[in-house]
Chain A
Amino acid sequence: MKIQQTILDMSAFSDKLLQSHPEVSVYDQVSVPEVHPKSILVSNQLSAQDLVSLFVEKNAKHWVQHNVNWFESDLLATGQICTDPMSFFEKNFQLVQSECLGQLEIKINDLNDKPRMKQEVVKFVQQAQSQNVLESAEAIVEELYMNAIIDAPREAKQKGYASEAVKPAELCLYRGKDQLAITMVDHYGSLDCSKFIRRMNEVYTQGAGEVMNRGPGGAGLGCVIIFENCMALYLGVIAKKMTKVTCVIPVGFSNRQRDKVLKSLHKIEVSGK
């Protein structure tokens, strides 16, 4: 990676980081001349609201904030995605770098599968023995489920494709030493990542109650509920083929400690051709 001058002291980072993905450039938001697909923006003190606002303003693709436990591994994973975006969509692509302490995969065919899905998620996450992790996982899974099972087919139909049944959605949970990754994959590929992030910005800047959709369809708050409950959000779409959303939750931290963990945001868009 080419580390451009940033407000962060990157000099301590390993050779492995600096020699990997030479075509990827790392900037902070002040020094970045223009964001291109192989730019990673970094920072160390942005709130969720400010991160989202700047992400929209800069039309960013990847923004990694500095959390001492994970910064280097986050940059390496992001560098991999910048170099080869399709790698993100591979089944075994892992964003949690520590040893796997447990894995769960659930196929979700339709609305009838929700109770079983929730039951299995609760049983799996309870192994982490943390109320805040359980609450976050449940909140995230609720919203990812609605996006994949209700919103995705509706959006695909509105866009005029995928009128026939597609493969079931897949929910995957991966538990590492200090992180839990929750991934939902649907095979509609109808997520508009930029619209999703712009909606987050609306909710943060104008207030959830003010912009909530009171009519049919979703309430439009799920995007922020998801982001508030995770430390990293990856929005990936292969147009008309697949949507993959991954949320990473820190594990083993109190609520007060979790509040200090900075958030990161990623948008991975690949043409469906």
Chain B
Amino acid sequence: MSKYQVNLENSGGVLKVSVSGVIDEDIDFSTHSIAGQSAIEFHLGNIKSINSCGIREWIKWVSTAAGASISYHECPKLIVDQINMVQGFLPAGARVLSFYVPFYNDDSGSEKNVLFTLGKEYDESGAVNPPSQTDDSGNEMEMDVVEAKYFKFLKK
């Protein structure tokens, strides 16, 4: 069974690309052409891990879609970390339309990942309006990120 899956689906002039699993030195994006598209949505919610070689292969692959209107969806924290750390991981002009933010309760140690969506929990200017969250026991949870670092990509 493959470590990763890449599914491409053309829908109403938009190429929807779902990537799941492990993106590492074994990944081969070359068999999944995304060149020549006018609009591409990358759905990343099921990516489990990405290493340094995977980061490089991602950047090379996404650069083949130069000229397309690109958006990233359901980015897990490990992808947000790469967007913030590696210039080019989110191509110039591309937008993040939804991403996950970890929440935490200091007393119980409970953790939860909450999906933030553009237009709801954050806006085009990068202003963030976190929702109220409780854990399964009803304890109040707080965003567990250093906001200036985690939301840095929203300000660009």
Partner of B86, one of A131, A132, A209, A254: A209
Partner of B51, one of A129, A139, A228: A139
Is the CB–CB distance between A214 and B60 below 8 Å?
Answer: yes
Contact residues in B for A130 (Cβ distance below 8 Å): 109, 111
Size category of the B interface is: 20 to 34
Residues of chain A in range 126-169 having any CB-CB distance to chain B below 8 Å: 129-132, 135, 138-139, 142-143, 146, 150
A48 to chain B, nearest CB (A): 12
Is A259's CB within 8 Å of the partner chain B?
Answer: yes
With known contacts A143-B51, A208-B86, A221-B86, A256–B145 Cβ distance under 8 A: yes
Is B99's CB within 8 Å of the partner chain A?
Answer: no
Is the CB–CB distance between A255 and B52 below 8 Å?
Answer: no
Bound complex: CA of A208 vs CA of B86, how far in Å?
Answer: 5
Chief secondary structure at chain A's binding surface: helix
Is the CB–CB distance between A209 and B87 below 8 Å?
Answer: yes
Is the CB–CB distance between B88 and A209 below 8 Å?
Answer: yes
Is the CB–CB distance between B88 and A256 below 8 Å?
Answer: no
Size category of the A interface is: 20 to 34
Is A37's CB within 8 Å of the partner chain B?
Answer: no
Is B55's CB within 8 Å of the partner chain A?
Answer: yes
Is the CB–CB distance between B56 and A213 below 8 Å?
Answer: yes
Q: Which residue of B lies closest to A217 (CB)?
A: B53
Bound complex: CA of A65 vs CA of B109, how far in Å?
Answer: 27
Is the CB–CB distance between A146 and B104 below 8 Å?
Answer: no
Partner of B52, one of A115, A129, A135, A221: A221
Is A210's CB within 8 Å of the partner chain B?
Answer: yes
Contact residues in A for B145 (Cβ distance below 8 Å): 255-256
